[in-house]
Structure 1
């Protein structure tokens, strides 16, 4: 008597989870088009809200956590995934690796139950890939689920004593060269606070979700007005900037009338401090013409324009890229005083020498100071990028100094703590010039602690809760 063949399981159509599909589409845009998650994700969320009637704020928050959490921890997850398969990551189909990374984050970085994380991710794989890759995804995720994150990191990373930089890089998911550059800079700026615990604090702060900080633009909105527009528990005072308020997690800036009317905006507190410090330095003689020489996308320019208007001064905002110049013009709309937005190359000035009283150059850089906001940058940037920016940074600073009249001041700023983009640039440009002197910037960041020995300053996410902004103030003699 023959044995009956086992019954096949009925085919189950994979369930489409909109939040996970949004997260996958965002990761593909980051990988394929070098997009930034903070730019591509909002449009994907709006599309999901239109396509799925039940897609609500919780789904949007979950999709956002999946995207940013996966991008932040990609280095650590790659090491863990590599230990769970014989297939080299470099030969793995990128969409497959993205799906596995999303599953790894759910298993190791969230409280989602293991069965739900694996099942939903396999369903996603069956939807966006095929059944064959989905089986591979299922097998890898089940191996990952055998240990928690700490156990995996201890397994795939060398010990601290064996290789400190690699240990920290894997445990906190930063490329080794970034760990090395941050450690060098921290040792210069905070020599008494640059050991293992300090580096762990800094790298952990890079992986924290950044707060949304608002700026009340002087003469157009006040901190009190912003505070009164939302419940008491929705806002907290800024730490250092007199124009800042911090929005509680989940708060939506678009619900605030002053933000909708462009009288206030979203701006990191470190960025606010840079603009406010430049505006606070005394100048000798007139104080009527200000320049933002690298104005895009317009946050610092909007604050400077508002401060200039309160003193009867005019701001010229220059940006070399036309699409970014349009963003600057939008940010400055409604400014109460005169201003001008121009498309120009700061290294080939469209203005006469010595024609401005105050000049800000927030130069293009590696962006290592904003890894909280753009976690994909840590994997996209290479050491060669730092060298690539060097000639432009020096050229912009020289041009800014030449554009400033004797007695005026220049602010050199960059959203990077890398020494080769900060103090080294200023020292190189000033070498051989006897017409420029340092101004101690610490005096114009009142109340901000841990600023080092001066005269320039470096902000840190783990010490100040800001992006890692650098500022040097220079006076033409």
Structure 2
């Protein structure tokens, strides 16, 4: 159940707002155009005018189908007795959409089958509507547990990959960290849509005030976090005017841990070496403003640098468009954040298509870049200053391995991240911080705090 290669021609549009059609078109955009679901779907919802329950159904069908693709395709291949690569691409997407309804939702069998057949007639071809009906009827003969039992190989990792819709190599990576007892819970957590987390920017709005005004509840771990039950956070006034932002609570924790790390000597020059799109920069900038410090934010991509500037508007933040590996003067900074580009395997619950696009080689390429960025941070920070190395991935080659290589070169020591580990249970990992969705309700953020000693 490895990621499938990009394929597929663009979808044919069907007139009239229809939740299943909107979901199909969003899935097609992801398959054919390498679009991101969280960008493609809102555009389609806006264009069709879907709202309320219809919009919620389109969202569930889009995200659920994309998240479950590997498992759905394995079941469809078995039910049809065909290699799916031999079927036209838009038909496969429609079959996946229908199978998702049969196996993962409470949509009645007749409704799931008939609506998918109608969709295929209108958007794919009437000639394959009979095939669609036959295949989905066979899928409906078993529930999800029945299919995973039927297709089980006896290989623990492969069977978990099938049951929880993850590529096998990702399951192997998580197993190496968590072990067999907790692994199923971690995989299951990736398949649950996360709640919206807000960050109350320090000095701009109080967390409890934000919670009251937004209709949310204060977070468990971050002093700035608010949990929302749902809705559109962009419509909240505090978010719209920049007093608050949408930010995972784990991201808030790791950025605040850098700001709260104990330090001797000057503490006015802070740097964010990989700043885009600006969430952590804005939080650091808010904290810096309260302490008379300033932040230099570095971002390689111009369009992401623009996002950083927007997020940090009105804060003591200077945005630089450039490469974090070559930025700054040696020993010029007091605190440096390296929120390194990573595989994003700690945020799979937020990006339904991501797990099927990643390859094992991505980690190898990224780990080299991560090491170069961390080395740059340790050069820019002054002796006695602090560096926070952060990834939204728990994978060893992007986390413990990168930091271990730098520690081995000397001139740096590991700081105990007690601001987090003392208050967040089960967050310690070999002298670092590792958060998990199944434990903490956050993305799987990794943090290492380092002090330059020479």
Normalised to the residue count of structure 1, the TM-score between the two structures is 0.90
What stretches of structure 2 of length at least 5 have no aligned partner?
1-13
CA distance in 1, matches of 2:184, 2:331: 45
1:94 and 2:89 are equivalent in the alignment: yes
1:140 and 2:132 are equivalent in the alignment: no
Displacement of 1:15 after TM fit? 8.7
In the TM superposition, what are the counterparts of 1:282-321 in structure 2 within 5 Å? 282-321=262-301
CA distance in 1, matches of 2:326, 2:243: 32
CA distance in 2, matches of 1:29, 1:431: 46
* Matched residue SS, 1:408: strand
* Matched residue SS, 1:103: helix
* Matched residue SS, 2:428: coil
* Matched residue SS, 1:449: coil
Sort the Cα spacing of 1:453 and 1:45 in 2 relative to 1 into closer, same or farther, 3 A: closer
Q: Counterpart of 1:323?
A: 303
* Matched residue SS, 1:310: helix
Displacement of 1:254 after TM fit? 2.3
Paired residues of 1:362 and 1:414 also in contact (CA < 8 A): yes
- Encode CA deviations 1:354-410: one digit per residue, 9 max, x unaligned: 111000011111110000001211110010111111211110000000000011100
In the TM superposition, what are the counterparts of 1:71-470 in structure 2 within 5 Å? 71-158=66-153, 162-186=154-178, 194-196=179-181, 198-230=182-214, 234-248=215-229, 250-335=230-315, 338-349=316-327, 351-433=328-410, 435-452=411-428, 454-470=430-446
Displacement of 1:180 after TM fit? 0.4
Q: CA RMSD in A?
A: 1.4
CA distance in 2, matches of 1:397, 1:34: 30
Q: How many residues align?
A: 440
What stretches of structure 1 of length at least 5 have no aligned partner?
1-13, 50-54, 187-193
- Encode CA deviations 1:94-126: one digit per residue, 9 max, x unaligned: 211110011011111111111111111111111
- Encode CA deviations 1:240-267: one digit per residue, 9 max, x unaligned: 001001100x322123210111110110
CA distance in 2, matches of 1:403, 1:180: 36
| Higher Cα radius of gyration | 1
Displacement of 1:39 after TM fit? 2.0
- Encode CA deviations 1:417-453: one digit per residue, 9 max, x unaligned: 00000000011122222x1100011344541000235
Paired residues of 2:420 and 2:433 also in contact (CA < 8 A): no
Sort the Cα spacing of 1:141 and 1:23 in 2 relative to 1 into closer, same or farther, 3 A: same
Q: Counterpart of 1:52?
A: none
Normalised to the residue count of structure 2, the TM-score between the two structures is 0.94
